[in-house]
Chain A
Amino acid sequence: MFIGAIGCEPLQLRRVHLERSRTIDVYRRNGGYEAIKRVLDSMSPDDVINEVKKSVLRGRGGAGFPTGMKWSFVPKDSPKAKYVVCNADESEPGTFKDRYLLERDPHMLIEGMLIAAYALGARTNYIYTRGEYKYLIDIMDVALDEARAAGLLGEKIMGTDFACDIYTHTGAGAYICGEETALLSSLEGFRGHPRMKPPFPAISGLYASPTVVNNVETLTAVPDIIKMGGEAYQKLGTEKSGGTKLWSVSGHVNRPGVYELPMGYDDMEKFIMEDCGGMLNGKQLKAVIPGGSSVYIMRADQIIGKDVRMDYDGLVAGGSMVGSGGFIVMDETVDVFESTKNLTEFYKHESCGWCTPCREGTDWLVKIFKRIDGGGGRPEDARLLLDLCDNIEGKSFCPLGDAAAWPIQSAVKRFPEDFEKHLAGNGQPRK
């Protein structure tokens, strides 16, 4: 599997190929913990937030919300404790970038969290990692111990009055806990049910205190923003999408992997056909899901010859979204009806059951897919699927409902031939 940068100098992936890259010695020898030193020596919390604002860093978990703005929502005068929570609950199908950041450069995350904690005045902070990534929690715990021994966690960090602690926390196999309010419910020891917004976590989050929840990739971008300055970081990308972005590439390409690209990389066709080594076994490209399973699926003819720019606006213009940057490439052998059924089963399994449209809707969708798959398709089923999606999208408590509806809506509209084949009863009933 490939891990590296294309079209720019590696920034977040700068150390991943170094020997013993996860140790504090290697991290320090390669520029590590210089940013937190600069912050503690010469910057106020507001300076840090302004620098992050200038960087136009947008949340890498999927929503793309500007990080600096999220940080500025935390009230400065609140008497309550404040928390920074790292969302390492990477569970979006097609996404595996955070895994390699945690595995190979855990100190980069610690430094990013230290800077965030300083900017927000947070004393105690957590890294919420999905339960399946237990080996990464073990790696993180070793790195945290190293940092503690080096005086980078605890009281009087680097001889200043800054005090901060970071702890790991484990999830237990629930996709919904990647949604920030569900994550906080889970971290408090409850079922992972999302909460009503507002109040947003910045006002009332963990233990009803001001909290910032950021993705691993977002927090690991912060040390470089401090070191090179917000403006320089933004200029690596585009005006509205600063910096570089990690893309997880899987499916039918010759070189799957984690790719760091400058935001605004053009174009998507070149990326798949050249950078990722082209299609596996010389087959034809059929479809791409570019942002993790929750975004619109794209047809090959929306990509080939279309110069789709790879950043937040570019992908929307191209007909999809950046999401978590999980690229699933599918060749001509894939039946989009089958692939959509597979993802719908995922959302049904992961629906938390809290609200009716999502709980009942995803279950009903799966039942329809199974009936069609069993040879019982009816011509009006395409309409029925769209109708159901319309009653889930925007009507569920959290975005999981939207995430279940979008792949189906886009698949039915963009690959009608794959659906018609099954609805006409020509689909082979599965044994």
Chain B
Amino acid sequence: MAEVLVKIQPPDHPVHMPEPAVFSAAVEAEIDRHLAKYPVKRSAILPLMFIVQRERGYLDPPGVQYLANRLQLRVTDIWEVATFYSMIYTKPTGKYHIQVCKTLSCRIMGEGKVTEHVSKKLGIKPGETTPDGKFSLSLVECLGSCGTAPMFQINFDYYENLTPEKVDQILAALP
């Protein structure tokens, strides 16, 4: 009976573990600087995820493998943390991620018009990316810009007191 219980079924397909990502010496040095801040390596997980994301566009499986090796954690530990935080992308996103704040102060000050304008101009709905991969549009929760509503953030930059005309200028100025 015991023999039956311990018998492990081998998977019927090969298990594919991606090769870890490789970064330049400059990025490795940046990562070292972050690791030096903490007595416990794991604490650097979020700053390091942002670096991997910046370098690779999103936190892809090789990036996860890299972080697991670097932080001496299991791959599942990395995924567990990555999927909790809304700013960690586990799927590719546009070169410019337009994040329109939709929470109350922005909502009552005209967020709807901004979203509609961006949506019409780019031909995508919130949650979508343009076919050329240049723009993604999202509705996000409060970005702490309530006194200058409505607003959006493109990648890490704040654009405030938006009007349709201003949105046109901002989008036109992006390379």
Contacts and interface: CB of A to CB of B under 8 A. Distances in A.
A355 interface: no
What is the predominant secondary structure among interface residues of chain A facing chain B? mixed
Contacts of A134: 156
Given A189-B42, A252-B108, A173 B47 contact: no
A125 B43 CA distance: 13
A189 B41 CA distance: 8
Interface stretch (A42-50, A164-172, A416-424): A164-172
B169 interface: no
A200 interface: no
Interface in B139-160: 140-149, 153, 156-158
Contacts of B39: 81, 124, 207
A2 B126 CA distance: 32
A93 B142 contact: yes
Interface residues of A, number: 56
Name the residue in B45, B80, B104, B107 with the highest tally of chain A Cβ atoms < 10 Å from its Cβ.
B104
Given A91-B144, A132-B144, A248-B147, A192 B84 contact: yes
B85 to A, nearest CB: 4
A328 interface: yes
Interface string B21-53: 000000000000000011111111111011000
B1 to A, nearest CB: 38
Given A172-B88, A189-B45, A191-B81, A328 B104 contact: yes
Interface residues of B, number: 42
Shortest 3 CB-CB contacts between residues of A and residues of B: A189-B42, A250-B146, A172-B85
Given A135-B158, A191-B80, 16 more contacts: A93-B105, A93-B141, A94-B105, A130-B144, A131-B46, A132-B156, A135-B156, A175-B142, A188-B40, A189-B45, A190-B81, A192-B84, A250-B105, A342-B107, A343-B104, A349-B141
17 contacts: A1-B147, A81-B39, A92-B142, A93-B104, A94-B105, A131-B46, A132-B156, A170-B47, A171-B46, A172-B85, A174-B86, A188-B43, A207-B39, A248-B147, A250-B105, A258-B147, A328-B146
